[in-house]
Amino acid sequence: MIRFEQVSKVYDRRSRPALHDVTVEFERGEFVFLVGASGSGKSTFIRLMLREERASSGTVYVVGRNVARLPSWRVPKLRRGIGVVFQDFRLLPNKTVYANVAFAMQVLGKGRAQIRQTVPEVLETVGLEGKEKRMPHELSGGEQQRVAIARAIVNRPEILLADEPTGNLDPETSLGIMAVLDKINQNGTTVIMATHDDDIVNQMRRRVVELHAGGIVRDESGGGYRTEVQA
Ligand SMILES: Nc1ncnc2c1ncn2[C@@H]1O[C@H](COP(=O)(O)OP(=O)(O)OP(=O)(O)O)[C@@H](O)[C@H]1O
Q: Which of 19, 33, 43 to mutate to test the pocket of ligand 1 (most atoms within 8 A of CB)?
A: 43
Provide the mean pLDDT of the chain.
Answer: 94
Side chain identity at residue 136, one-letter code = P
pLDDT tens figures, 19-66: 999 999 999 999 999 999 999 999 999 999 999 999 999 999 999 999
What number is the ipTM of this complex?
0.93
pLDDT tens figures, 117-174: 999 999 999 999 999 999 999 999 999 999 999 999 999 999 999 999 999 999 999 9
Q: What pLDDT is recorded for position 224? A: 47
How many C-beta atoms lie closer than 10 Å to residue 17's C-beta? 21
| Ligand 1 atom closest to residue 9's alpha carbon, by position in its atom list | 12
CA-based nearest residue to 33, from 165, 229, 153, 154: 165
- For ligand 1, whether the C-beta of 18 sits within 6 Å is yes
Q: Check pLDDT > 50 for residue 231.
A: no
CA of 60 to the centre of ligand 1 (A): 18
Per-residue pLDDT, averaged over 181-187, amounts to 96
Q: 228 or 3, which is more confident?
A: 3
Say if residues 82 and 35 touch (Cβ distance below 8 Å).
no
CA of 16 to the centre of ligand 1 (A): 11
Q: Where are the beta strands (DSSP E) in the chain?
A: 2-9, 19-26, 31-35, 57-62, 65-66, 82-86, 159-163, 190-195, 207-212, 215-220, 226-228
Q: What pLDDT is recorded for position 229? A: 44
How many C-beta atoms lie closer than 10 Å to residue 147's C-beta? 26
Q: Check pLDDT > 80 for residue 227.
A: no
DSSP three-state, residue 142: helix
Q: Judge if pTM exceeds 0.80.
A: yes
pLDDT tens figures, 67-101: 999 999 999 999 999 999 999 999 999 999 999 99
